[in-house]
Structure formats: structure tokens, C-alpha cells
Structure 1
Amino acid sequence: MAGIRNGRPYRRLVAAQKALGLPCWWCGHNIPTNVDGRTHPLAFTLDHEVPLSKGGSLLDPANARSAHRRCNSARGNRTAPQLQPQRRASRNW
């Protein structure tokens, strides 16, 4: 399955999800577009709501989520909603 992540359908899914400009589904903060996508911890990554190791589909757009690289890594393959941090509301000035 690792080879398919370099394939055209996966790259299309990543591009489509990134083009939506959604915030990180894990922490709720915006994902910057001006950082190095390969190394920066706040860079965009494609996350899967149902982890692949738990039977989630790699190419299903309904399973695709926008995430920061560090949020995606910190989440691992956990699925329990209580493990997800609370989304932060904007500051009240």
C-alpha cells in the first residue's frame, strides 16, 4: 500500500483536500501555506479520520482530513473522540 501513496489518485486527493483551505481538524487552527511541506511541523498533511491501520480507506475523500504535520503525528492511530483536544474558540478581546 505504500506505493499507492505516490500514485496519481492519492496525489489528487491530497491536492483537493489542501485546496479546500480548511483548518486542522485536530486542533482547529489554520494551516499555513508558506512553510516547507516536507519538514515544518505546521505544514499541511492529509490525515484520515478512520486510520488506515483500523480499516480506513486511503483514497476515500470522506475519510480525508486536513491536519498539521505535528497534529497528525501526535494523533497516531487513535480514534476515540475523548482523545481529541477541545477546539479552541477565538480570543475574546
Structure 2
Amino acid sequence: MAGNPRTGRPYRRLCVEQRALGLPCWICGEAIDYELTSLAAQRSPWAFTLDHLVPLSRGGDLLDPANARSAHRRCNSQRGNRSTSAPTPQRQYRRW
């Protein structure tokens, strides 16, 4: 039985390599606080997460370095599985 691929050595290595680049968030362009390393600090919305240019749910490769991007936890969560980094416009509702 295979385990979670995100806890395996190849994925952790990809995260370490991406973190070492020290790049800004590819979604918002702001700096990422790479000093946040403890478990509690990693839950910060400004902490580093590994995002994928082509979302995994749309056929992106989990371990392909060309598909890996540095992102804030918050930006990554807001983007979801959309293929672009631009947020979708909010629907306007009329109150009658």
C-alpha cells in the first residue's frame, strides 16, 4: 500500500529546493517569510507553500520542478485549483 506522496522523500526534497531559491510568491509577487519553519509558524498565511503551476487535479505533476512554484499559504489556498493566478471575480447580488 502506497503512502501519501506529499510525505515522501522526493516531494520533501522538491520543497527544500524550491524554498532555497528564496523567490517571492508567484501569485501576489510579495516576499515570503522563509524564516517561518516551526509547525505553528507554518500555519501563518504568509508562510511558504509549494504550489503547482498546473494544478494536480488538472493533470499537473506533483514532482516536476518545472511545475513547482513558491507561494504564500493564503495565496495558494485562495487560488484553489484554477489554472491562473488571477482571482475569479465575485458575483454581484442585487437586494430587492
TM-score, normalisation: structure 1: 0.82
Show CA shifts across 1:33-78 (max 9, x none).
23312x1000000000000000000000000000000000000000
Residue 84 (structure 1) shift: 5.2
CA shift in 2, pair 1:2/1:65, >3 Å: farther
Q: Do residues 59 (structure 1) and 63 (structure 2) align?
A: yes
Q: Which runs of 4+ in 1 moved over 2 A?
A: none
- Report the AA paired with residue 8 of structure 1: R
Residues in 1 aligned to 2:84 and 2:68: alpha-carbon distance in whole angstroms: 17
What runs of 5+ residues in structure 2 fail to find an aligned partner? 89-96
- Aligned-residue Cα RMSD (Å) equals 1.8
Identity rate of aligned residues, in percent? 63
* Structure 1 segment 1-93 matched on structure 2, within 5 A: 3-35=4-36, 36-37=41-42, 39-80=43-84, 83=86
CA shift in 2, pair 1:78/1:2, >3 Å: farther
1:91 is matched with which residue? Answer: none
Residue 80 (structure 1) shift: 3.6
What runs of 5+ residues in structure 1 fail to find an aligned partner? 86-93
- Report the AA paired with residue 10 of structure 1: Y
Helix, strand or coil: the match of 2:69? strand
Residues in 2 aligned to 1:50 and 1:34: alpha-carbon distance in whole angstroms: 27
Larger radius of gyration: 2
Give aligned pairs, total.
83
